[in-house]
């Protein structure tokens, strides 16, 4: 059984919890990227994890 994938249509409803800006879907990394906040939120089992504590800093 394959891992559930993220539905890109969800991007219309999701915003960055820090800046309230739009997010970009990075299919290869399975992340939602907030360029404004410089954070990448992971997608696990098709579910975006929109917690700042779980996000990866893009400044590293």
Give the β-pairing of 39-44 and 31-34: antiparallel
Mapped onto helix, strand or coil, the DSSP state of residue 12 is: helix
What is the reported pLDDT for 2? 57
Chain-centroid distance of CA 45 in Å reads: 13
What is the token pair recorded at 28? 């290869």
Is this prediction's pTM over 0.85? yes
Distance (Å, whole) CA 16 – CA 48: 11
What is the reported pLDDT for 36? 97
Model confidence pLDDT, tens digit, residues 14-58: 999 999 999 999 999 999 999 999 999 999 999 999 999 999 999
Distance (Å, whole) CA 31 – CA 51: 12
| Range list of H helices, 1-60 | none
């Amino acid at each position: 059984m394959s891992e559930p994938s993220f539905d890109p249509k969800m991007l219309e409803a999701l915003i960055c919890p820090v800046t309230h800006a739009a997010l970009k879907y990075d299919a290869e990394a399975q992340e939602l990227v907030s360029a404004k906040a410089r954070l990448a939120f992971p997608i696990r089992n098709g579910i975006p994890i929109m917690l700042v504590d779980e996000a990866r800093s893009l400044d590293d």
